[in-house]
Amino acid sequence: MQQKIHMVDLLGQYQKIKPEVDTALQQVIDRAAFILMCRMQLPGC
């Protein structure tokens, strides 16, 4: 039995949310949250 592979437009989907993704990434970089884990709202952040 063959399964159909549904094709999706990943680039198109990304372009729709790109401003939100870019803003979130910039906030992580600005806050050094990738080091401090502040985005996870840990105590002390």
Model confidence at 20, in pLDDT bands (50, 70, 90)? very high
Q: Is the pTM of this model over 0.95?
A: no
Distance in angstroms between the alpha carbons of the first and the last residue of the chain:
53
What is the token pair recorded at 15?
A: 């372009």
Q: pLDDT at residue 9 above 90?
A: yes
Give me the percent of the chain exceeding a pLDDT of 70: 71
Per-residue pLDDT, 10: 93
What is the token pair recorded at 5?
A: 């592979």
